[in-house]
Amino acid sequence: MSQLLSNLILATMTEGYGLIPDAAVVIEDGTVAWAGPRAAIPGPYDRLPPIDLGGRLVTPGLIDCHSHIVFAGDRAGEFEMRLNGASYEEVARAGGGILSTVRATRAASEAELLAQALLRADQIIASGATTIEVKSGYGLTVADEVKMLRVAREIGRRRAVTVKVTHLAAHAVPPDYKGRARDYIAEVAMPSLKAAHAEGLVDAVDAFCEGIAFQPDEIAPLFHLAKELGLDIKLHAEQLSDLKGAVMAARMGAMSADHLEYLGPDGIAAMAASGTVAVILPGAFYTLREKQLPPIAALRAAGVPMALATDCNPGSSPMTALTLTMNMACTLFRMTPLEALQGVTLHAARALGLADRGVIAAGKRADLAIWEARHPAELGYRIGATALHTRIFGGHLDA
C-alpha cells in the first residue's frame, strides 16, 4: 500500500528545519519511502494518485518525552493555596502536593484512571503528538504502581499514538516511609519495578532527585536494578536545587536528565560527555513561578541536545499542549523556534531512545503532523492556539 502526499511545505528536521518548499512524501507500509521536492518524485511513485495537502506545513509527528498523565483527582485547591502565598515545598510538606494525588490515585480503579488519562492523551495528540512518554509515580505501593503502569500501557492500545512507559515509583516518599527513603526504595520501588517488568509494562526507569524526594545515593540501587533488567534510565534532576543528580545520572548512562533549572557546570560537562539529553520543562517553571532559568546558553555551547516536554501533571504543570510548551520555551527560556521544534521532534526521540522517528526521511516511521501553517516558527509563535490540521500515524491519516 503506497500513498503519495503532495503540495506541501516539508520540515524534515534532518538538518536544521530541513525545509523543502514544494515537497512530496511517499509512504509505504507505514514507513516513509521517499521525501523530497515535488519536481523530483522518482518513478514509479510519480504515477501514484497524489493526496493534495494544500500547501500546508508538514513536520515529524511531535513527541512528548515527559508526562505524568495517569492520575486521579485534581489540584486546583493547591493552586489556590499557592496563590494565597504557600510555596510548592510548603504545600508538599503539609501533605498536599504529590501525596494528595497519591491518595486519589490509590482510590481509583484501573478503568477510572484510564478514562481520565485518555482525555489528557487526546489533548496532547490534538497538539500534534504521535508519541507520548507516560510515567507512574502516584501509586507508591507495589500494587498501585503496577496498576498505573498497566493503565499507561493501555493508552497506546486505545489511541493512535506510541506510548513509552516509565516506572517512577521513586517520585515521593509515602507517609508510612517518612524518614526512611532508603527502605522505600528497597521495599517498594525495586519490587514494583521487578513485578511490572515481568508483566512487560516498563520501558524505562525514572526518579525524582530533590530535597522533598530522593537523594542521588538513594536512587543509585534502583538505577543499578534498571540496568540489570536492560532498561533505560532517566532522572528528574536539579528542578528546585542542585543535588548533583544530573552528574550521577549521566555517569550511569542516563538517556535524559529533566528540568535542570539548577544544573551547574559539572552537570553540563557530565551530560555532554555521556550524550544525555537535557529535557526542558517550561510548564513547571511557569506554574511554580521559578526564578532560576535553566542554563540554556551553556547547554547549547556544550552541545547537549535539548528536548522539550509538557511534564503534564496535576501539580506543577497541568498543560497538555506541545505547541504551548514550544511557545514557553522560546519566550521564557530564549530557545530559538528551531531549537523548540527540534526539542519536540528529533531530540525528544533521542531522549526516548527511539531511532525510528523524530525526522522525516526514507526508512523512518510515517508519523507526521500536518499544520495550518506555512513556516515552522508559527508553531511556537501563537500562544495557546494549536494549528494542527491532521496527523498521520504509522502511515494512517487520522479519521
Give residues in contact with ligand DI6 (CB under 6 A): 97-98, 101, 171, 208, 236, 239, 284, 311, 313-316
- The tally of CA atoms less than 13 A away on the side-chain side of residue 338 is 10
4: part of which helix (H) or strand (E)? strand 2-11
Q: Could you tell me the smallest distance in angstroms from the CB atom of residue 138 to ligand DI6?
A: 7
CB of 96 to ligand DI6, least distance (A): 9
Binding mask of the shown chain, residues 298 to 327, with x at each position contacting Fe ion by CB under 5 A:
-------------x----------------
Q: Which does 98 bind (CB under 5 to 8 A by kind): ligand DI6, Fe ion, none?
A: ligand DI6
List CB contacts of 366: < 8 A, sequence separation 6 or more. Answer: 25, 27, 30, 31, 32, 392, 394, 395
Q: CA–CA separation, 166 vs 131, rounded Å?
A: 13
Nine-digit cell string for 57: 506545513
d(CA 297, CA 284): 20
Closest approach, Cβ 18 to Fe ion, in A, equals: 30
In whole angstroms, the minimum distance from the beta carbon of 312 to ligand DI6 comes to: 10
Between 171 and 350, name the residue whose CB sits nearer to ligand DI6.
171
CA–CA separation, 60 and 45 (whole Å): 21
**Cβ closer to ligand DI6: 101 or 342?**
101
Distance CA 164, CA 79 (A): 29
Question: Whose Cβ is closer to ligand DI6: residue 3's or residue 136's?
Answer: 136
**Closest to ligand DI6 by CB, 10 or 328:** 328
CA separation, residue 140 to residues 74, 149, 209, 245, 322 (Å): 18, 12, 16, 21, 28
- For residue 208, the partner it binds in Fe ion, ligand DI6, none, with Cβ less than 5 to 8 A by kind, is ligand DI6
CB under 5 to 8 A by kind: which of ligand DI6, Fe ion, none does 59 bind?
none
Q: From Fe ion, ligand DI6, none, which one binds at residue 101 (CB under 5 to 8 Å depending on kind)?
A: ligand DI6
Least separation in angstroms between residue 236's CB and Fe ion is 5
Name the grid cell of 395: 502511515
Question: Judged by CB under 5 A, does residue 206 bind Fe ion?
Answer: no
Q: Residue with CB nearest ligand DI6?
A: 315
Using the minimum distance from each CB to ligand DI6, give the nearer residue, 137 or 305. Answer: 137
When CB distances are held under 5 to 8 angstroms depending on the partner's kind, the choice from Fe ion, ligand DI6, none that residue 316 binds is ligand DI6
Calpha distance 310→174 (Å, rounded)? 25
The residue type found at 93 is: R
Q: Which does 370 bind (CB under 5 to 8 A by kind): ligand DI6, Fe ion, none?
A: none
Selection from ligand DI6, Fe ion, none that 97 binds (CB < 5 to 8 A by kind) is ligand DI6
CB of 209 to ligand DI6, least distance (A): 9
Closest to ligand DI6 by CB, 26 or 65:
65
CA pair distance 368, 130, nearest whole angstrom? 8
Q: In whole angstroms, what is the distance from residue 259 CA to residue 211 CA?
A: 15
The CA distance from 2 to 216, in Å, is 50
**Number of other CB atoms surrounding residue 139 within 10 Å:** 25
By DSSP bridging, strand 62-64 and strand 129-135 are: parallel
Q: Which is nearer to Fe ion, 144 or 311 (CB)?
A: 311
Q: Identify the helix (H) or strand (E) that includes residue 205.
A: strand 204-207
Using CB under 5 A as the criterion, which residues of the chain lie in contact with Fe ion when the complex forms? Answer: 311
